Chains A and B, each alone.
Chain A
């Protein structure tokens, strides 16, 4: 059965037909071309499909598309500024060599957006827990945590100045 799904994706309102059996991961990838949303396991174990729905990180592979009705969805494609600058989180991942094969990267970046969005100054150990819903086989999480620590510090310092 097809239904029309209306939601805001990366800041723009979209209205698309979806099969009610589709996961949000499938709709974002196949209907909106947002292929940053990766499918690594399809059972919500690896976190590669993580997107933000109303600012909260969820595994889009086990989230039915219809549940996104009226909600704000964000993927990595929505992080660049209107003039094409990378977000500080993306830049931190580049600078800390936090991406190797890159398959887990977009999902972790989206969790990072939620984490940094809280404005809290987390410790490295706390950050480990906050990204524990993401599996990575390439990095051992070391460079990813370096990027997370860096971006949390930068954000908190910037907030403190303002």
Chain B
């Protein structure tokens, strides 16, 4: 049995917000794959849970007439990957969440939980950063939207207030249309793994496809929070596709990241991965955008 002190199953978003307001100790549980494990480890023993599991209004993926894609936060990873909307508009994200854990985890883990636990290693994170996602949060005070790059404040920390529920993730059409994307997850094994490094690259090519019109390069586990290599992106803007471009991107990205040495991986090793994966992800993104990289 889990050492749970109180458990409340919310019936709606509003109900969940109310329940969180009434209990300052309460923690949100969605798919459970993070919270229940922490509970078992003893870190959350004796916790108070407000469950948003199974709340209909938190599930599903839709597209507005403007082409804005809305992913409701409690949608499980496998449903995101299988979604025709995601496959058509941003297959990189569908691929990225298909790398989380294994098949069973992907049937219960939710993208909202993945984002709200604030860890730099979340597979969805670097892709959402590359897509300039906006997060919709609902509290007693109403609804607010936060850009993903303003949502994370530190390792495991976000701006989400105690009584706020992440209800949806919005991605505007301009942030995915005409881009080729590639996410690479690097781990010591190929399944049931938390990334040693994650790299999400998106490239929009010039009309003649010989140069980079826009580059977005995001990393997970290269800093305490997911991050974008903004200097590298600026440097690559307008750059013709050439072997030395990839070297420059790699060196620049390595200069922007802040990896640390831990027992899992040394700083030098992570830098090597940042450099190599950056090259490979950008190359593949170019290919996915219809360009050629063997120039």
- Which A1-42 residues have a C-beta within 8 angstroms of B? 1, 19-23, 26, 42
Residues of chain B within 8 A (CB-CB) of A131 are: 103
> Does A66 lie within 8 Å of B9, measured CB to CB?
yes
Residue A99 at the chain B interface, CB threshold 8 Å: no
Q: Which one, A19, A23, A57, contacts B107 given CB within 8 A?
A: A57
Q: Does residue B32 face the partner (Cβ distance < 8 Å to A)?
A: yes
Are A47 and B2 in contact, CB atoms less than 8 angstroms apart? no
Number of interface residues of B (CB under 8 A): 25
- Please report whether the interface of chain B is mostly helix, strand, loop or mixed according to DSSP: loop
Q: B33-41, B58-66, B131-139: which lies at the A interface?
A: B33-41
A20 to B6, CA, bound (A): 9
Choose from B1, B40, B102 the contact partner of A43 (Cβ within 8 Å).
B40
Which partner residue on chain A sits nearest B54 by CB separation?
A67
User: Given contacts A56-B78, A67-B53, A67-B54, are A133 and B40 in contact (CB under 8 A)?
Assistant: no
B172 proximal to A (CB < 8 A): no
Q: Return A82 CB to nearest CB of chain B, in Å.
A: 28
Is A64 within 8 A of B102, CB to CB? Answer: no
Interface footprint category on A: 20 to 34
- The interface bits of chain B over 85-103 (1 if a CB of A lies within 8 angstroms of the residue's CB, else 0) are 0000000000000000111
Instruction: Tell me the smallest distance from the CB of B185 to a CB of chain A, in Å.
Output: 13
Contact with A57, one of B7, B36, B104 (Cβ below 8 angstroms): B104
Contact digits for A129-155, partner B, Cβ 8 Å, 1 yes 0 no: 111111100000000000000000000
Q: How far is the CA of A21 from the CA of B40 in the complex (A)?
A: 11
Q: Does B56 have its Cβ within 8 Å of any Cβ on chain A?
A: no
In the complex formed, the residue of B with least CB distance to A135 is B192
Query: Quick one: closest B residue to A130, CB to CB?
Result: B103
Q: Would B191 and A23 count as touching, CB distance under 8 A? A: no
- Tell me the bound Cα distance from A26 to B40 in angstroms: 14
Which A residues are within 8 Å of any B CB, using their own CB?
1, 19-23, 26, 42-45, 47, 50, 56-59, 62-64, 66-67, 111, 129-135
Which residues of B approach A to under 8 Å, CB–CB? 1-4, 7, 9, 32-33, 36-37, 40, 51, 53-54, 78, 101-105, 107-108, 190-192
Q: 9 A-B residue contacts at CB 8 Å?
A: A42-B40, A56-B107, A57-B103, A57-B107, A62-B37, A67-B32, A111-B103, A111-B104, A133-B104
